[in-house]
Structure 1
Amino acid sequence: MDFTGFEVRKCPPTAMYIPNFITSEEEQRILSHIERTPKPRWTQLLNRRLVNYGGVPHPNGMIAEEIPEWLQSYVDKVNNLGVFESQNANHVLVNEYLPGQGILPHTDGPLFYPIISTISCGAHTVLEFAKREGTTAEEGDASVGDGDGDGDQAGRVVLFKLLLEPRSLLILKDTLYSDYLHSIAETKEDVLCDRICNYDLCETTYKMGDHLVRRAPRISLTIRNVPKTSKMKLKFC
């Protein structure tokens, strides 16, 4: 797919933002499946909960699990774009964010092929970016996590932001993957400002200074490739 028309040009390379990547019907099907996920499948963190599909990434290699058919169809939809170049996605991290919840500054790190794709469902959010410590710093004094959002907010400076609407697909790679931390602030409402870089690609027309509707529960599907996997493959019902 030619992403030329979807590239966010007001931030460092490379972010692609595709509004309405999935339909409202597909979004409702995803939310319905997530709602029915058995409680033991969830990992409860301090500021949100999550589910790994495809396996749990580990430095020694991910023991591959079969991704459920309902979810694999969206993985295939992303793979069909050629997002991961010569690779295919084999892992999905499902995060649930309630109003007031967020994720600390982090990079996804070396366990993953250096491209992130994220489908947003249910509600909007604003993704914030700060310079990773040790690169040609503007400022930014945040720890680098492992993709689960561990980090340190002390001293970080938000340089730019992306507004993620429901049903959108965001792709991050290149410098944005390696040299910047991304995070979601723990707030119940977002104010639009001139640091948001993708207004021109959004489905809705916004005016700076507007308050978005208060945050509602959001489900994100972060679809990635884990290069190092075990030959074992587990299947769960």
Structure 2
Amino acid sequence: MNELEKYRVEQAPPTIYYIPNFITKEEEEYLLHQVNSAPKPKWTQLSNRRLQNWGGLPHPKGMVAEEIPKWLKIYTEKVAAIGLYGNKHPNHVLVNEYLPGQGIMPHEDGSLFFPVVSTISLGSHTLLEFYHPIKSENQSCDEKPETSFEDRFLTSILLEPRSLVFVCDDMYRTYLHGISERTTDRISESIANIDKCEIDKSVTELHRTTRVSLTIRHVPRVLKSKILFGKK
């Protein structure tokens, strides 16, 4: 854990850790091959990306656990060994594929998960952006926010290929996170983790290619299938 402190992003609220080159180029190619070799039914197509769930499908009533394949389990164990999950162990991996110009609206992961989320990026960079919460105490979920996302922008984190990021504490519980739908990203000193990135610091713009993210989490509430279906 003391070694981990050098990866803490000091320019962001508590707590983000950013580890560049967490995996090798060869590991990246291996993981991309495994993702792209998954059976077609494993993919879920959304309007702005497609995804795979491994380990089960998280649900408020509980997740029916499924075995995580060995090619992913190697990395859930490697991430768990860092120690930020405490005595918990990651049991779910969400694989997202983003084409250039695709993203995800600002959102929170919520109470379905232990409040530590880790993501390995493959293939391309992206900017992970954080925002102040939209909903106030007296505002219902159906009401439009009084201010735009731009007005609520907090900070951004550059996620390079082969990097690992941990989002914990208030950065998980309090703030929203998302990825803007664009094909290029402006690179500047305003990016909270720019000092920890491996890119050439003279670069001012990066062009996105296809990115695959492995989001590794722990789902506390797990059900056995016989309980879910009312069997004894």
Q: TM-score, with normalisation over the residues of structure 1?
A: 0.87
Partners of 1:129 and 1:181 within 8 A in 2: yes
Partners of 2:188 and 2:194 within 8 A in 1: no
Q: What does the per-residue CA deviation read over 1:66-100, in whole Å, with 9 as the maximum and x for residues that have no partner?
A: 00111110111001111211100000000000000
Q: Distance in 1 between matches of 2:190 and 2:148?
A: 18
- Find out whether 1:191 has 2:192 as its counterpart: no
Q: What does the per-residue CA deviation read over 1:2-40, in whole Å, with 9 as the maximum and x for residues that have no partner?
A: 311000000100000000101111100000011111221
Amino acid at match of 2:172: Y
- Structure 1 residue runs of 4+, over 4 Å off? none
Partners of 1:107 and 1:182 within 8 A in 2: yes
Partners of 1:135 and 1:179 within 8 A in 2: no
Larger fraction in helix: 2
Counterpart secondary structure, 1:190: strand
Q: What does the per-residue CA deviation read over 1:77-124, in whole Å, with 9 as the maximum and x for residues that have no partner?
A: 001111211100000000000000000000110000001100000010
Q: Distance in 1 between matches of 2:153 and 2:178?
A: 9
Q: Which residue of 1 aligns with 2:87?
A: 86
Q: Which has the larger radius of gyration?
A: 2
Q: TM-score, with normalisation over the residues of structure 2?
A: 0.89
* CA positional deviation for 1:134: 4.8
Q: Distance in 2 between matches of 1:232 and 1:41?
A: 19
Q: Which residue of 1 aligns with 2:230?
A: none
Q: Percent identity?
A: 50
Amino acid at match of 2:185: D
**Structure 2: unaligned runs, 5 residues or longer:** 227-232
* CA positional deviation for 1:231: 2.8
Range moving further from structure 2, 66-75 or 185-194: 185-194
Amino acid at match of 2:205: H
- Find out whether 1:228 has 2:229 as its counterpart: no
Q: Distance in 1 between matches of 2:170 and 2:51?
A: 27
Q: Which residue of 1 aligns with 2:166?
A: 171
Amino acid at match of 1:70: W
Partners of 2:45 and 2:51 within 8 A in 1: yes
* CA positional deviation for 1:133: 3.1
Q: Which residue of 2 aligns with 1:17?
A: 18
Amino acid at match of 1:87: K
Partners of 1:199 and 1:205 within 8 A in 2: no
Partners of 1:192 and 1:207 within 8 A in 2: no
Q: What does the per-residue CA deviation read over 1:102-159, in whole Å, with 9 as the maximum and x for residues that have no partner?
A: 00000110000001100000010001111013579xxxx9x79xxxxxx98x711322
**Equivalent residues in 2 for 1:40-119 (5 A)?**
40-119=41-120
* CA positional deviation for 1:165: 0.2
* CA positional deviation for 1:61: 0.4
Q: Which residue of 2 aligns with 1:218?
A: 211
Counterpart secondary structure, 2:199: coil
Q: Distance in 1 between matches of 2:14 and 2:84?
A: 15
Q: Which residue of 1 aligns with 2:155?
A: 160
